[in-house]
């Protein structure tokens, strides 16, 4: 996906590949069946999650992530971890795999790609167009949402 008008040259795919190692299976939103029973884990910080998140997602954080936050999930559950663009979620995914979870995916492009692909996000009040853009450098990749930096 080429992002026109971005300060940074290149494509979203090039950015994603430069930030991740492929240590966790990458899953694009279009590969996830709406009928699948998916557990979405949000690896962003709480203030980012509160702005918006994927419907039904569980906030687990990144800086203060502890395995006890996922202790009641079955080891064979389909788990998709996401963050803003994919770096933090890959690191959490690595920890989940090491802990014995067998069906873990890193959401390609995180919540940015999710929204840019036309998928819905919600907050405590319901559907929203707001997404925490992390910072202005990363916010350039978020094109189909109202950017929040607080």
Catalytic residues: 83
Q: CB under 8 Å to 5, separation ≥6 — which residues?
A: none
| Helix locations, 54-143, DSSP H | 87-98, 110-116, 136-139
Assess contact for 90 and 21: CB atoms under 8 A. yes
**How many angstroms separate the CA atoms of 7 and 118, rounded?**
23
**How many angstroms separate the CA atoms of 90 and 94, rounded?**
6
DSSP strand pairing (121-123 vs 126-128): antiparallel
């Amino acid at each position: 996906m080429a992002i026109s008008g971005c300060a940074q040259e290149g494509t979203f795919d090039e950015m994603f590949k430069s930030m991740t190692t492929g240590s966790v299976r990458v899953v694009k939103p279009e590969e996830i069946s709406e009928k699948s029973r998916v557990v979405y884990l949000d690896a962003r910080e709480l203030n980012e999650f509160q702005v918006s998140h994927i419907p039904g997602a569980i906030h687990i954080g990144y800086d203060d992530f502890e395995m006890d936050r996922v202790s009641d999930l079955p080891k064979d559950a389909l788990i998709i971890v996401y963050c803003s663009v994919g770096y933090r979620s890959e690191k959490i995914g690595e920890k989940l795999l090491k802990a014995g979870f067998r069906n873990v995916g890193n959401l390609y492009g995180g919540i940015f790609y999710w929204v840019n692909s036309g998928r819905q996000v919600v907050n405590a009040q319901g559907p929203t167009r707001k997404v925490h853009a992390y910072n202005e450098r990363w916010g350039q990749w978020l094109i189909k949402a109202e950017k929040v930096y607080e």
